[in-house]
Amino acid sequence: MKETDISGSDAAREADRALKAKHRAMWALGDYPAVATEVIAELGPELAAAAGAAPGIRVLDVAAGSGNAATAAALAGAEVVASDLTPELLEVGRSQAEAAGAKLEWRQADAEDMPFGDAEFDAVMSCVGVMFAPHHQATADELVRVCKPGGRIALTNWTPQGFIGQMFATMKPYAAPPPPGAQPPPLWGDPDHVRALLGDRVEDFSAERRQLAVGHFGGPEEFRDYFKANYGPTIAVYRNIADDPEKVAALDQALAELPEKFRLDGDSPVLTWEYLLVTARRR
């Protein structure tokens, strides 16, 4: 039985449906699969290994996007279900997995209300995905619920102080106000926050800050323009201020200045993006 019910009244359920529809539409903007394969590809295989993906292991990838971690887990021999709120991402993932020779199941699902049975999976993972579900406790409850006792939970999330966390902080003044009850995504990169969400339902909890070296961009403007074209949350923020040229210009400048704080060294085009790798076992 699920531990968290965010539905409440009919009005609350309708508001939640509207919010999830907005999230689906946001992640369908641009080309997130390009970001997953061109910029953060290394995170998928790393997370699949941390989840213990191997033959005989049944794995659920939650908020899988186009399946960079799910496909890696399937190629490692695991039986994999990739779930995501946005069907457009799943369609791209299915094609990419087939091209790579990976076989897995693709399911549209809300991370806060998943259509899977209790204790159905040996491992549950998410690669910079569940952090964007608005209600953190409801999401954490679902991760635990569908994991078998003794099974592994493995999560990769951007940290608040890292590059992507600071990109969201930079965009916040220009974004539409979050709905009541929604929590900031980068909180999932705070080990204390994640530990509190999972609580005493897990053991062997480990949280390790790691750095992803990103050399895809030749300069700060190239990074900014790439995210303006491909990354749903950035596109949504720019749409929110499209009628205010001064705000657009200010955000353009702020995003172009951001990479200077995260260079590998002073002259290198390589950026360091910090993320948190969490692993735990369900009691």
SS3 of 6-26: the string is CCCCHHHHHHHHHHHHHHHHH
Residues 6+ apart with CB under 8 A from 16: 6, 7
**Residue 82 in contact with residue 61, Cβ under 8 Å?**
yes
**φ and ψ of 165, to 5 deg:** -60, -40
- Do 135 and 7 meet the contact criterion of CB atoms below 8 Å apart? no
The reply to whether 184 falls in a domain is yes
Would you state the pLDDT for residue 6?
A: 46
Based on its alpha-carbon atoms, the radius of gyration of the chain, rounded to whole angstroms, reads 18
Query: Is residue 244 a part of any domain in this protein?
Result: no
Instruction: Give the per-residue pLDDT at 21.
Output: 96
Mean pLDDT of the region 211-232: 96
pLDDT value at 2 more than 90: no
- pLDDT at position 8 is 58
pLDDT digits 0-9 by tens, 21-40: 999 999 999 999 999 999 99
Report the CATH number that the domain containing residue 136 is assigned in CATH.
3.40.50.150
Total structural domains within the chain:
1
Q: Is residue 125 part of a domain?
A: yes
pLDDT in tens, 145-192: 999 999 999 999 999 999 999 999 999 999 999 988 899 999 999 999
Q: Give the predicted TM-score (pTM) of the model.
A: 0.94
Q: What is the per-residue pLDDT for 264?
A: 81
Predicted pLDDT of residue 3: 44
Look at the block and give the residue holding tokens 């999330």: 157
Whole-number pLDDT of residue 115: 98
Residue 55 lies in a domain: yes
pLDDT of residue 1: 40
In a domain, 180, yes or no: yes
Q: Supply the pLDDT for residue 209.
A: 98
Within-domain flag for 146: yes
Among 11-20, 24-33, 138-147, name the one with the lowest average pLDDT. 11-20
pLDDT the model gives residue 99: 98
Q: What is the pLDDT of residues 241-266, one digit of tens each?
A: 999 999 999 999 999 999 999 988 76
Domain annotation covers residue 247: no
Residue 173 lies in a domain: yes
Task: Identify the pLDDT of residue 7.
Answer: 46
Per-residue pLDDT of 60-114, as tens digits, reads 999 999 999 999 999 999 999 999 999 999 999 999 999 999 999 999 999 999 9
Structural domain that includes position 15 = 10-213+272-282
